[in-house]
Structure 1
């Protein structure tokens, strides 16, 4: 059960995000007349998700990260194959870090299973629910297959943080370290270096034309610098 959103953890964009969620959900869910009696309000799902994103143990995977990914999905949406594909990627962005237990390696699968439970109840078709869950699970590797345009958009939107300015990247790296504060320094450095090497070994970090043109070079430079600092 996610905690309730309180005045202390309520994000300034909370109300706007609720409306963004509802607009997306209403584009793909079954007509009101076809929904079972007692179907929860679309806002109930927004409130649950926003409470999850506001959990106090989060430092990087926060509501600000959700907003950034949603905004980048919008930026890259022309790469998707039609409005329903854009809606699937947008819903996947909402769910992709909805479950975050920093001491577990199953967060992507748990987040996908949350989508698989919530979306059918909210009136989303089995086919679209399956696509959203697939996209969420893809963020475990950030390695979509060629031609998987939805996966390319979601993964690029999630990884775009790597292409920030040096100051932005340093703040991102510090927030990740704080989120894993329970991990001893040596173990964290080794694990983080493995993550960076895995990403740097990908033939391309970004698969959309915009991502390749605007983010690839800067992201690789930032990660190479972080890796060098971790190993020094």
Structure 2
């Protein structure tokens, strides 16, 4: 599904969707951008393309401040506000967004959103390396000696869990763990900054 098609399906006002595009284009973003939304929409199965899932894809990172620990909560709150005057199930969208905080297995819809969000883990090594660099740029304010061990801890948590739970993504599980282990190794030996 293309961005324009997804916005047509949602049927929201131009000021609302223009604000979303502006937020996803903020200069401090390098990975959590319109490109990320585009990639998720491109991998959304047609049979699963409910308006709630489309809205959750658009809004799951709508608030993104690398200095903050409450981005999902703030994004869920914005979803409730922005969708309040529509027939889209805003509480469901907010719950799906909150489920991306820990990416734990849940309902079929939650598993799909999580898999779409983490799909980059199972991408080619070149695409994953680009993602890794983009995340580092988003946290450019963090010194290397603090970033490297903390990023490695986050990735180790993912490496210990089953990442993908839907048929379209489970075939990439081994690739995801290989990519995570590659980045963890690079972070631990200091060759990735």
Equivalences for 1:26-65 in 2 at 5 Å? 26=11, 42-65=13-36
Match of 2:166 in 1: 208
Alpha-carbon offset, residue 18 of structure 1:
4.3
Alpha-carbon offset, residue 17 of structure 1:
2.8
Match of 1:137 in 2: 98
Matched length = 188
Alpha-carbon distance between aligned partners in 2 of 1:185 and 1:69, rounded to the nearest angstrom: 30
Alpha-carbon distance between aligned partners in 2 of 1:185 and 1:206, rounded to the nearest angstrom: 30
Alpha-carbon distance between aligned partners in 2 of 1:101 and 1:196, rounded to the nearest angstrom: 19
Ranges in structure 1 where 5+ consecutive residues have no aligned partner: 1-15, 27-40
Match of 1:108 in 2: 72
Equivalences for 1:52-91 in 2 at 5 Å? 52-72=23-43, 74-75=44-45, 77-78=46-47, 80=48, 86-91=50-55
Larger Rg: 1
Alpha-carbon distance between aligned partners in 1 of 2:64 and 2:183, rounded to the nearest angstrom: 24
Match of 1:222 in 2: 179
8 Å CA contact 2:53, 2:113 repeated in 1: yes
Match of 1:152 in 2: 111
TM-score normalised over the length of structure 2: 0.92
Alpha-carbon distance between aligned partners in 1 of 2:4 and 2:16, rounded to the nearest angstrom: 9
Alpha-carbon distance between aligned partners in 1 of 2:96 and 2:61, rounded to the nearest angstrom: 12
Match of 1:5 in 2: none
Do residues 187 (structure 1) and 146 (structure 2) align?
A: yes
TM-score normalised over the length of structure 1: 0.77
Over aligned residue pairs, what C-alpha RMSD do you find? Answer: 1.5
Alpha-carbon offset, residue 130 of structure 1:
0.5
Do residues 124 (structure 1) and 87 (structure 2) align?
A: yes
8 Å CA contact 1:18, 1:46 repeated in 2: no
Match of 1:37 in 2: none
